[in-house]
Amino acid sequence: MMSGRFHHWLINNGSLTARLQHRYQDFRVKPLLMVYAKPLLDEAKPLHISAHKTALIREVLLMGNKKAVVFAHSVLPPGSLRGHWLGLSRLGNKPLGATLFANPQVKRTPLTYKKLSPHHVLYQHAVKHLAEKPPYLWGRRSVFSLDCASIMVTEVFLPQLLE
């Protein structure tokens, strides 16, 4: 993998939210989108849902010292928004990672990585918030599960993270 300077960010299995909160004195979550829509084709299969069904799609920017450093895209199937995760549809500017890592019963699949080209929809969503568009972006994805409910989180690392 030619992920270069993003490598240690991509492979770390801990809470990205906690790492960013530790790194930046001024860390916050900037909500962008919260809508019921069809997941991307490669998102439906790992979540064991039909690509024709809608799920709650949440997109946020993770901000460090007033700069966008990570674009996060989460897919929350309606069946997952109950029990322990009932409040996930109302997170607003609260980090999803804090909720996921707070419960030791939450299981996480191994991280998968992808170099996102300008043709990828998540690249297109992420660069809307950048002054300059890089030739590609690195992203990682995993599925979190608790009590037969699963949600997918994709984190796209933005160039400002390396500053």
CATH superfamily, region 4-117+130-162: Chorismate lyase-like (3.40.1410.10)
pLDDT reading at 1 higher than 80: no
DSSP letter for 88, please. Answer: G
More confident residue, 158 or 147: 158
| Plot region of 86 (φ>0 → left; ψ -120 to 50 → alpha; else → beta) | alpha
**DSSP designation for 40:** P
Q: In this structure, what token pair is assigned to residue 31?
A: 């909500």
- 131-134, long-range: CB within 8 Å, 24+ apart, which pairs? 132/159, 134/159
Domain extents for the chain? 4-117+130-162
88 confidence band (pLDDT: 50, 70, 90)? confident
Q: Is there a contact between 163 and 67 (Cβ–Cβ < 8 Å)?
A: yes
